[in-house]
Structure 1
Amino acid sequence: MVFNIRQKQSEAVQKLLNLNTALNPNKDPGEQYKVLVLDRFSRDIIAPLFRLNDLRRHGVTLHLSLEADRQAIPDVPAIYLVQPLPQHVDRIVSDAAAGLYETMHLNFTTSLPSRLLEQMAVGAVRAGASQRVAKVYDQYLSFVALEPTLFTLGLPNAYVELNDPAAKDSQIEAAVQSVVDGLFSVCVTLGVVPLIRCPCGGAAEHVAGQLDQKLRDALKARNNLFAEGMLGLSASLSRPLLCLFDRNYDLAAALQQPWTYKPMVHDVLAMHLNRIQLAPRNNLFAEGMLGLSASLSRPLLCLFDRNYDLAAALQQPWTYKPMVHDVLAMHLNRIQLAPELSTTGPTASSQC
């Protein structure tokens, strides 16, 4: 059984951008203009999956930050993709009360708790803006898909929160719940109910127990989130295996890396969300190594997940230099010869 977590998440986001309706091959999804409102975490979800041109093909003319002050655009629908947090619910209610958009399609990265749903409903009714909220969806997208077989939960402080001796029980429980929500989102996106294995004791067992209970509750619910939950024996014979380990079990594994260029780029150039950004004056590739001019007027942004030649080159071992050198030279030359073709990304910087 082969899973492509990146493709599955991309398809889920495409459906979200189509106002949660199935994509019609005979209809251009860009015919209806929309505004996309994201919080910080959901921006990280979207960034590895879509460029600005990809969003435009789905009718998204603007992508805005939930936390920023925004002007009213009353003639277009707005698609929200945010975490289910109290401050986000308050901001959504204030947007509805201010009439910023014609309709609001609310999508949450995980299940919206009942108390927050009630809080949002009461606030919208009191503001007389309940008619602006078109739909509310639980999307289960609380993870970042970097590669077809690689994802991250986007929790850089999880290890510290789970192992801090001064942490309160409520803080540890919140950290465990964040991990459980992320793994549950992965299972829902893939449409599978895995077999869970973990060592006894520690955070791994705690996470596994809560995840197991959440999967059981989802299978018993009226609206079953898993297609395999109703297939009987045939589904149980093809269930994947999910192994959870505590990082304390083997600390050295986090420091080990293969002898390829990608881990080196990740460590040296601070790769984040499959991209690196090099300032014009500190461009390591512009002079010396490739003999190119360093007269870039904007930062150089390299998207390794979007360029298959560059991604393949980074998988080569350190001893294999010709292919990597040629690929980097080709793309840097393309940027300098045709800079107008390199401004289609989500930031005002050149891309390769």
Structure 2
Amino acid sequence: MDVIQAVKMYITKMTEESGPGMKVILMDKETTSIVSMVYSQSEILQKEVYLFERIDSNAQWDNLKHMKCIVFVRPTSENIALLSRELRYPKYGMYFIYFSNVISKADIKTLAECDEQETVREAQEVFADYLAVDRHLFSFNIVGCLHGRNWNQTHLQRCAQGLLGLLLSIKRRCVIRYEASSEPCKRLAERVRDLLRREAVLLDNNIPFNGDVPAPQLLILDRRDDAVTPLLNQWTYQAMVHELLTINNNRVSLAHVPGVPNDFKEVVLASEQDDFYAKNLYSNFGEIGQTIKTLMDEFQKKAKSHQKVESIADMKNFVEQYPLFKKMSGTVTKHVTVVGSLSDAVATHKLLQVSELEQQIACQSDHAKQLQHLKKLLTTESVRHSDAAKLVALYALRYEKHASCAARDLLQALRERGTPDDLIALVLDVLEYGGAHARHADLFGLHDAVNITKRFFKGLSGVENIYTQHTPALKDTVEDLLKGRLRENLYPTLGGDDGYGRKPQDVIVFIVGGATYEESLCIHQINQNWPGVKVILGGTTIHNSTSFLEEVKSAMQGVHRTHTRHIKNVA
């Protein structure tokens, strides 16, 4: 159940099956991202791949018949058309074709008819049809999957195919469960079931049946059930980088940072390629500062030992250690630049104060005190408009049913501070998207006796860090599933097979509307704390608050607001 290793295995297979010799790899936009998430360019070069091409580019190359071409594309109609053209007029000596998912016999026939020069040596299905973000985390990079409560049909098909590919790649036969109150979850569950039935022979050939262990479960959830988590500022390294700088396919742009060296305008943050990042993904901001200082001290110590290069022996010693030295130099510069940029943002935009109130609203019930604090922050100029709008959205989600709810006054305060109209409108959109009417869960622990007790004891014992008090709703849901307590009426098993009481060891959780790095941390902790259990988390995308607000805006586009009419729209 390691999605990075699953994808790597397929890519290694592609490069090895074509045999020795110079190779080019021909990909589409999505498979380019899939490969780049798990392999660096230098690692691919070691496999004799010297040229990277996009199937939709019109690049003209001469004299390439000596090269083998590995084709790795999604089996879409557009790619079949482009590949047909390529095979009619082949630029390369031979082709080894790999599709990232199941391909129809009709499409194979079309390609065979175009291969008049018989350059195709191999055509296979592999199942690397998702972005492997971390060992337990995957994504399809889709923002805006819904319109209201209905799927964009293209995105529905993409997610269903991607989940089929995931199950085939990790070799798991899953019982499918979904959130009963969510029509999008039900639709996706049904589509995945239909694909699994259609590809029953493929499943039988690829996935051994083992009746001795509990069946793995695929649990499909709706982002609307927890609109709070994606709105919060983050304080662990990976999540913080994504929130403040944005991680896009393991890449982070630092082009906006003053004085950043040209080599670091864009940096790669991938746990498989960067030991420091792998060890500190989940460290909080205070810890990361201390760790960076230790790293710098270590580097300076090593650099000092290399200052004297006087004899042949010194030179030989330096050259032998140079690659390691250079790599360490790059790692230090990269992380110092990233952490410095985060630190500047925290200080400039008063994020400690903002985050403290966010956590209080999310985790505690003290309306009068929080409202007073919020009004004060709305008058603070250094607080960004986006943070001000998110605070009001959090307040509205928490206190929409409160007798003294001041959402209308807070919207007016946003307008008076000069907040852009689209951000003010988004506050109402968030409430329409993820308000009490849209979720079945007791998100704030206001009604469920167990949740109220949990929060009471948590309040008594205090928290280790006021900036990381919040726990995503996902944690309780997954733990209930692992304990066999996830209620069948709320999370039915597709096909009516009663799933209540089962205690699965392997679980794949997929969130329609996107997951977050805070939830990824939560799943990482479950994997560490539950011996013998393995949970994988996936989402239509991996959100920060900016992309989540885009998700909400897309879902609410043209949808009539029925649950926020009582709040005067000052936008």
Please give the range of the TM-score, normalised by the shorter of the 2 chains. 0.7 to 0.9
Partner of 1:313: 280
Q: 2 CA distance for matches of 1:135 and 1:116?
A: 15
1:40 corresponding residue in structure 2: 29
More helix by share: 2
Specify whether residues 296 and 175 from structure 1 end up closer, same or farther in structure 2 by C-alpha distance, changes over 3 A only.
Answer: closer
The share of aligned pairs that are identical, in percent, is 16
Q: For 1:175 and 1:332, locate their aligned partners in 2 and report how far apart those are by CA, in whole Å.
A: 50
Does 1:53 find its partner at 2:35?
no
How many pairs align? 308
What do residues 180-228 of structure 1 show as CA deviations (whole Å, max 9, x unaligned)?
1111111011001122111224111111112123223333x16734322
Q: Distance in 1 between matches of 2:215 and 2:302?
A: 46
Structure 2 segments unaligned to the other structure (5+ residues): 307-321, 328-332, 336-571
Q: Which amino acid aligns with 1:227?
A: I
**AA matched with 2:291:** M
Aligned counterparts of 1:100 and 1:203: Cα–Cα separation in 2 = 44
Distance 1:252 1:205 in 2: 23
Partner residue, 2:95: 104
What letter is aligned with 1:15? K
**Gaps spanning 5+ residues in structure 1: where?**
21-28, 287-293, 343-349
Question: Are 1:322 and 2:290 an aligned pair?
Answer: yes
Deviations 1:57-111 (A, max 9, x none): 2221111111222414111210011111222222222222222011111111121
Q: What amino acid does structure 2 have at the position aligned with 1:324?
A: I
Q: Secondary structure at the match of 1:245?
A: strand
Provide the C-alpha distance between the structure 1 equivalents of 2:235 and 2:263, rounded to a whole number of angstroms: 33
Q: Which residue of 2 aligns with 1:133?
A: 120
Map Cα deviations across residues 22-67 of structure 1 (whole Å, 9 max, x no partner). xxxxxxx7x4221111111001101121112211222211111112
Q: Report the CA distance between 1:297 and its aligned residue.
A: 5.8
Distance (whole Å) between structure 2 residues aligned to residue 172 and residue 132 of structure 1? 38
Match of 1:183 in 2: 163
Q: Normalising by the residue count of structure 1, what TM-score does the alignment of the two structures yield? A: 0.77
From 278, 295, 302, the counterpart of 2:254? 278
Please name the residue that 1:119 is paired with.
110
> What TM-score comes out, normalization by structure 2 length?
0.49
- Which residue is 2:270 aligned to? 304
> Could you tell me how far apart the structure 1 residues matched to 2:300 and 2:158 are?
40
- 1:253-303 CA distance string (max 9 Å, x none): 333465312211112112112221322xx436x6xxxxxxx5546634233
SS at match of 1:78: strand
* Local SS of the residue matching 2:132: strand
Specify which structure has the bigger relative contact order, considering alpha-carbon pairs within 8 angstroms and separated by 6 or more residues: 2
Secondary structure (helix, strand or coil) at the match of 1:191 reads: coil
Partner of 1:81: 72
Say whether 1:71 aligns with 2:61.
yes
Deviation at 1:331, TM superposition (A): 8.0
The letter of the residue matching 1:65 is R
Flag the structure with larger Rg.
Answer: 2
SS at match of 1:242: strand
The alpha carbon displacement at 1:164 in A equals 4.4
In the TM superposition, what whole-angstrom CA distance separates every residue of 1:285-342 from its partner, at most 9, and x where no partner exists? x6xxxxxxx554663423332112123234211232211344478789999x989957
Q: Distance in 1 between matches of 2:137 and 2:214?
A: 21
State the superposition RMSD in angstroms: 3.2
Is it true that 1:260 corresponds to 2:236 in the alignment?
A: yes
For 2:269 and 2:298, how far apart are their aligned partners in 1?
A: 15
**Aligned partners of 2:196, 2:261: CA distance in 1, in Å?**
55
